[in-house]
Structure formats: structure tokens, C-alpha cells
Chains A and B, each alone.
Chain A
């Protein structure tokens, strides 16, 4: 198994070369948005700028299980303001002026912490990067805000993310070195019979030495985790995936699998085989049916489906 993992480590570049060009999912949201922008520019030239409503209706999901018997929708009317363009600003306006009891999570207000993920007008999004002006018009002057679908509710828009974080924990999201040390020492102590000293192989061993200082990575290898490390774990993709709704307990979900792939392709990580063995499971990985909701709603425009597909190819090739 140890020699296997080494052979595997050596063949990763080859595997990557075969995988990368094969699967490329287009982010549908981008294309649709591009079309929308073009259409808007065409129409605005004829009709003038888009007409905005004076009042915007916010339909907000409210449920405090300790007080309310049933969840309900509460609606508030706010004046449309260009000065507070994002949904999170309006949620704060509501919380400050109308409903002090409204519960929602937020931290960074710039789309990097992933706390304010919620279901807005039927699509999962981050409230802090959701431009209200783009989604309302004088014929549709409302925004409906719900918590992330299929998550246990704590209060109002705050959901219980424990299970999601436990799943993230299960894929060991950190660089591993243990296997290398084992194989390195074992091969040095008992070389296999008929083992010929190969200069290339010794060089390979050299690269696998435990790192005393920095764990370096070439620019090419660093480029492989672009589009993966940006994930902020907001759970927008996982909670928009029907397959995750149905098998939440066993299927890892797009966000966690994207992260798993991030550690699989990282050239500094040595536990590739271990990771692939863990993922190679009927439920953990293979419940992805390429529904592609994950790509459609990702606030960072990543594509978890592509990552999942690449993991699948890697497992089939090894």
C-alpha cells in the first residue's frame, strides 16, 4: 500500500493532465447574467433607466420555537434606498427600526465570512452581496427571505450548521505528512529484495523528506487549487442540492467535497490515497447526480460539481 501511494503520488501530474481538459462545467449563472445585462442595456436605451418602486416589501421568515407555535412570514415595507444597496443593510434597517427580535447571522458584510447565507427569492445567496436593486422592479417590488432550506432552524434566519461542520471535519481539512514519514523510514530500514538504487528514485525520496522549514509549492501546483481555496463554507451549495436534502446524514454534499478535492490536489499533502479511500463510498461521494444547483447558487462563482467529477475520475483512474 505504501509503494502504491508513492506510485500514485508520482502519477498525479499525469492524472491531472488527463482530467483537467475533460470536464468543464460552464457556470450557468454567469451566462444568464451576461444575457440579462445585455438585454437590460438594449431595453434601457429605449425605455430609459429601470424604474424603481418607492417601497420595497420584505417578506421575512420568522420562527422562534420557544414562543411561536408555527413559523410565519412577516412583511415589512422599507423605502428603496440607493445608499444601502445590499440585502444585509436592509435587514439591519429592519432590525434597528422595526423588529428588534429578528435573528440572523452576519459578520464581515463583504462576502468573505459566509455567515449570512440565506434563501432569498428562492435562491441561496449571501445577504451581504445580494444587490436588492437588481432583483426588484416596479412590477415586482418584494424580496422574500427564508433560512437555508432543509436545515434545522435555531431561530428565524439562523440555522443549525453543526452537522455540516462535522462533515467538514470528517475530511481532515489540513496538510498530512504521516504517511510519508512512515513509508520513507520503512523503505530506508528494509529495502525490498532486488531494490536497485535509482538516482531518480532517490531524488524522489529527497522531495518526500519531512520538511524542516517551509513546505514549498511550485507556481504550477499552486495554480491547481485556484477555484477551490476560495470556498468560504457558507453552505449555500450544499443546502441547494436536492441529493443533500435527501441523504444529509450520509452524503457529504458539494461544499465539503469541493474542500476534499482541494486537499486531494494540493501537492504538499501526502495522504492522497487515504483521502481517496475515504471518499470512495456509495453515499459519501456517489450521491452527486450532477444536478448543478451548487454551481448556480455559489456566491463565489466556484464549481463544486467540477471538483466532484474530478474526484470521481481520480478514483476510477487509480
Chain B
């Protein structure tokens, strides 16, 4: 096996040397470099919103949703356990929060927001929130 491997690598190098301009898949820049770079560029010098204001606005959004029990709603309440919402309702509430702050939360982040507090945390730490 080792000898076989040596032969193949040797063959590859000679091939490379003969035709200098071989474009092999390994030479193509991986995607993640490109995305990391672009996110740095996009990063604005935005300001973070005040936590009290955000709390009030998030609570307002959640209160507007018809299935929420008003009496149980606090800044600490969990969508599933305290407010009795299911995952579809939660997705809708999170989308309402997105609309309120003019954000577009990526799916992976959105699925992690399971309580009012999570939403507040996310919005206050996001400089793009308005």
C-alpha cells in the first residue's frame, strides 16, 4: 500500500511539472474563506439598541400573537413550556420579531430562539436591528 501511494503521488507531481497550468479541484478556493471575508466587509458600524426598549418592543410583539396567554407573559417566559406554543407558533412569533426590528434571522439562529429572553438577547447583540 505505501509503495502504491508513493507511485501515485510521484505520477501526480510529474504530471503537474509537465503541464504547468493544470487546474485541479484542490486549487479552487474553498467557499468558507469567501464567506468569512464578505461578512467582514458587510459588518457595519451600527449601534446596539437599548435593552429596556428592546424588551418592551419584543413583549408587545409577543402579546399581539393571539394564542399567547397574556397573564403568563413575562420577559423570562419560554415559548414552549410557559406560553404553550408549538414550533409552528414559535416560528411565526420569531418572524414577527424579525419584522419588528427589520432583521432577517438565519434559520439555524431562529430555531435556537425558544424564549422571550432569547429574542431580546439576539436583538440587542445584533447591530443591524432597527
A interface list, Cβ under 8 A from B: 280-282, 286, 315-317
Which of B15, B19, B22, B25 contacts A281, CB < 8 Å? Answer: B25
Bound Cα distance A282, B30 (Å):
10
Supply 5 A–B pairs (Cβ within 8 Å), ascending by A.
A280-B23, A286-B25, A316-B15, A316-B24, A317-B19
Question: How far in angstroms is the closest Cβ of chain A from B16?
Answer: 10
| Chain B binding surface SS class | loop
Q: Is B28 at the interface (CB under 8 A from chain A)?
A: yes
Q: How many B residues face the partner with a CB closer than 8 A?
A: 7
A-contacting residues of B (Cβ < 8 Å)? 15, 19, 22-25, 28
Which residues of the other chain, B, contact A317 by a CB distance below 8 angstroms? 19
Query: Which residues from chain A contact B22 at a C-beta distance below 8 Å?
Result: 316
Task: Tell me, in angstroms, the Cα distance from A315 to B24 when the chains sit together.
Answer: 9
What CA separation (Å) do A212 and B18 show in the bound complex? 42
Closest approach, in angstroms, between the C-beta of B88 and any C-beta of chain A?
A: 20
B22: nearest residue on chain A (CB-CB)?
Answer: A316
- What's the Cα separation between A318 and B68 when bound, in Å? 64
Residues of chain B contacted by A281 (CB below 8 angstroms): 25, 28
Closest 6 CB pairs of A and B: A282-B25, A286-B25, A316-B22, A282-B28, A280-B23, A315-B23
Q: Determine the chain A residues whose CB is within 8 A of the CB of B24 once the complex forms.
A: 316
Chain B residues within 8 Å of A286, by CB: 25
> Within the assembled complex, what's the spacing in Å between the Cα atoms of A36 and B15?
41
In angstroms, Cα B78 to Cα A26, docked, is: 63
In angstroms, how far is the closest chain B Cβ from the Cβ of A244? Answer: 17
The residues of A that contact B28 with a CB separation of less than 8 Å are 281-282
Q: Inside 8 A of B19's CB, which chain A residues have their CB?
A: 316-317
Q: How many Å lie between the Cα of A280 and that of B26 in the bound state? A: 11
Which residue on chain B has the smallest CB distance to residue A277? Answer: B23
The distance in angstroms between the C-alpha atoms of A315 and B19, with both chains bound, is: 12
CA distance A317 to B18 in the complex (A): 10
| Distance to closest chain A CB from B94 (angstroms) | 26
Cα distance, A280 to B15, chains bound together (Å): 18
Complex Cα–Cα for A282 and B22 (A): 14
A282 neighbours in B (Cβ, 8 Å): 25, 28
A286–B28 Cα distance when bound, in Å, is: 12
Chain B's closest residue to A316 (CB) is B22
